[in-house]
Amino acid sequence: MDIRNIAIIAHVDHGKTTLVDKILHATKVFRENQETGDLIMDSNDLERERGITIFSKNAAVTYKDVKINVIDTPGHADFGGEVERVLKMADGVCLLVDAFEGPMPQTRFVLQKALQLNLRPIVIINKVDKPNCRPDEVHDAVFELFFNLDATEEQLDFPTYYGSGRNGWFNDSLTPCENINPLLDGILKHVPPPKVSEGTLQLQITSLDYSSFLGRIAVGRVSRGVIKENQPISLVQADGSIKKTRVKELYVFEGMGKKKVSEVIAGDLCAVVGIEGFNIGDTIADFENPEALPVISVDEPTMNMMFSINNSPFYGKDGKFVTSRHLRDRLMKETEKNLALRVVDSDGGDAFLVYGRGILHLGVLIETMRREGYELTVGQPQVIVKQIDGKKCEPYEVLVVDVPQEFASKVIDLVTRRKGEMLVMETKGEMQHLEFDIPSRGLIGLRTQMLTNTQGEAVMAHRFSEYKPWKGVIPGRNNGVLLAKENGSSTGYSLDKLQDRGSFFIDPGEEIYAGQIIGEHIKPGDLVVQITEGKKLTNMRASGSDAATNIAPKILLTLEECMEYIQHDECIEVTPNFIRMRKTILNEEERKKQAKSMKAEA
């Protein structure tokens, strides 16, 4: 049977998952009258809420008697670890580019990985129905990007398709057609069938699946040989050790699901059930003469955060899993399938240092854990510092901002204050396109300020570039915080009286504890306030003064915004129903003592 393996890669929001929807519909995976909704592949709750792809997924369709395995990949740089490993399963890539925005930082990152693996590219310029779109200029920009990434002659001769995923057409010219068949024909024509070398069985495990019924399932591509049901095999692990085991069941992808088969030939993707203790990157090889494939290498993490048990006065009120053993087991389970994540135990045993790709990468992990019923405390994100040639170095990123022209000066001012240097400034239609080189530390907390200063108009994207010498101190938050003085329930009376001191993160009637951050102070420096005071009632009433209090609504911060907001002496308490910010040391006297001793040491 003819097979094509393609991965769909693009910057975030350029239409990957919508394209996969159209491919599934065009190849009649669903019945005519079946209700499917949009973004079929984003099946996880978090993905649907945020409108982003987090985990790469597989689907398989049949078009003109050729089986096409489609791999949908995430677009955020924070999930680059997902993309890097699944590209190993593909022979060609569909690079999707927005007809207005053109190639963005993430496009560059993923394309570079694909070209290094020698995959055949097909360029799709999407959203040509948008106003202000410039498909011809974007085509030239994509060609330039290929050239800058040292593409081979063959890769530079890429076919280009134009269209609109939302309207359901793609063609090799700008004239609209009825469906996406020209694109599917192009995939059959330009993507080569899998290359199969002679020899014994080899299959590299590139992702994991889990079923409560079957346990852990290994997913990968058979690079040579044939794998059969009930066959004895060798599992070659990353450290070179070999385990002898047996395949229980085999599945291939079909439509959105899997189909059980008795054997899978080289070149196809499959899921293997019944192997114990495997990790991503391990090779399933011949029982007698095992030969390993090269281990998958993934870029290093650039950020870390301290995860510890929840030790606030509200400990255990909300979650099911609250002990350090629960926390450790869950984090270790995550490292099995999340290649870009690392976990290191700390001295006390109650806390773990978790290394990841960025704030979104770590934020999604915390959000997933709290939905599963975990309670934990997380500290401020820190960048990973290295000593290179005797110099202290930190990670730098390329930051790209598209913003209306009237806000460009504010953006430049914001970024340069955070030690960023401008590399490119050009006009794209009504927008100003800015590129900066900025330390990763400077990005923490930048998004919120950027959106405030540009009235929500700025579009930001960034990707890791390299380690460079330390840039010095970057100014943090300008204002201090308001802290609760004692445990209790906040009252409308107290909140009303304190409104001139700052803006609040809580509403009247919320349970709070001493040391909890309840608002932002109007000035620098922290302020401890009494928020649980009720109004003393008498039987005398003054006309007009007892009118209902006018309290401004509380400021709602998302988990990522809290992670960017807190400072080094603060942390976030995360439980299934609440996200609270607090001081690491809750007692005011203890905090003052520590501040004094730190000053004395300095």
Write down which residue in 285, 310, 340 finishes a domain.
285
Distance CA 241, CA 232 (A): 17
Instruction: List all residues 6 or more positions away from 324 whose beta carbon is below 8 Å from its beta carbon.
Output: 308, 309, 349, 350, 351
353 within domain boundaries: no
pLDDT of res. 76: 65
Whether 17 has a binding-site annotation, put simply, is yes
* 255 and 132 together in one domain: no
**Where residue 407 sits, what CATH number does that domain have?**
3.30.70.240
Phi–psi pair at 342, nearest 5 degrees: -130, 145
3-state secondary structure 455-524: CCCCEEEEEEEEEEECCCCCCCCCCCEEEECCCEECCHHHHHHCHHHEEECCCCCCEECCCEEEEEECCC
Phi–psi pair at 282, nearest 5 degrees: -70, 155
* 440 and 559 together in one domain: no
Q: Using alpha carbons, select from 511, 507, 509 the residue that is nearest to residue 519.
A: 507
* 166 and 277 together in one domain: no
Q: Is 539 exposed, middle or buried (0-12, 13-18, 19+ CB in 10 A)?
A: exposed
Residue 45 in tokens: 């709750």
Write down which residue in 258, 285, 312 finishes a domain.
285
Residue 404 in tokens: 């209306």
Which stretches of 34-117 are assigned E, i.e. beta strand? 57-63, 66-72, 92-98
Whether 13 has a binding-site annotation, put simply, is yes
Q: Using alpha carbons, select from 399, 470, 466 the residue that is nearest to residue 438.
A: 399
* 422 and 561 together in one domain: no
Instruction: List all residues 6 or more positions away from 196 whose beta carbon is below 8 Å from its beta carbon.
Output: 223, 224, 266, 267
pLDDT of res. 583: 92
129 within domain boundaries: yes
Residue 361 contacts residue 340 (beta carbons within 8 Å):
yes
Q: What is the mean pLDDT of each run of 10 residues along the chain (602 residues)?
A: 84 74 72 48 54 67 86 70 77 88 77 86 88 86 88 89 86 84 89 83 82 80 87 86 88 82 87 83 86 77 88 88 89 79 82 86 88 91 88 88 88 90 84 88 83 83 83 83 91 88 90 92 90 78 54 87 88 92 90 86 74
**Where residue 266 sits, what CATH number does that domain have?**
2.40.30.10
Residue with token string 């047996």: 246
Identify any residues that bridge with 4 across adjacent strands, giving them in sequence order. Answer: 68
Distance CA 577, CA 505 (A): 15
Whether 283 has a binding-site annotation, put simply, is no
Whether 16 has a binding-site annotation, put simply, is yes
Residue 358 contacts residue 302 (beta carbons within 8 Å):
yes
> What's the number of CA atoms in the CB half-sphere (13 Å) around residue 161?
27
Residue span of the structural domain in which 267 resides:
202-285
What pTM was estimated for this model as a whole?
A: 0.77
pLDDT tens per residue, range 186-215: 888 898 888 877 888 888 888 777 777 777
Whether 18 has a binding-site annotation, put simply, is yes
Write down which residue in 469, 504, 526 finishes a domain.
469
CA distances from 522 to 60, 355, 478, 499, 595 (A): 56, 34, 10, 10, 22
542 within domain boundaries: no
pLDDT of res. 50: 54
Instruction: List all residues 6 or more positions away from 15 whose beta carbon is below 8 Å from its beta carbon.
Output: 96, 98, 126, 127, 165, 166
* 213 and 165 together in one domain: no
Whether 209 has a binding-site annotation, put simply, is no
**Where residue 594 sits, what CATH number does that domain have?**
2.40.50.250
* 433 and 496 together in one domain: no
Whether 15 has a binding-site annotation, put simply, is yes
Distance CA 560, CA 338 (A): 19
* 498 and 461 together in one domain: no
CA distances from 196 to 265, 287, 408 (A): 10, 20, 52
* 158 and 227 together in one domain: no
pLDDT of res. 505: 92
**Helix (H), strand (E) at residue 84:** helix 80-86
7 within domain boundaries: yes
Give the number of other CB atoms < 10 A from CB of residue 560.
19
Residue with token string 């089986």: 67
Whether 126 has a binding-site annotation, put simply, is yes
- Residue 413 CA to its chain's centroid (Å): 28
Residue 137 contacts residue 196 (beta carbons within 8 Å):
no
pLDDT of res. 576: 92
pLDDT of res. 547: 46
pLDDT tens per residue, range 505-559: 998 889 999 999 999 999 988 899 998 888 777 766 554 444 456 788 888 888 8
* 69 and 209 together in one domain: no
Angle, CA of 87, 92 and 94, to the nearest 5°:
90
Distance CA 560, CA 558 (A): 6
* 60 and 162 together in one domain: yes
* 46 and 163 together in one domain: yes
Distance CA 190, CA 183 (A): 10
Domain count, the chain: 4
* 13 and 128 together in one domain: yes
Residue 139 in tokens: 């085509």
Which stretches of 212-326 are assigned E, i.e. beta strand? 215-224, 226-228, 232-236, 242-246, 249-254, 257-261, 263-265, 269-273, 283-285, 303-308
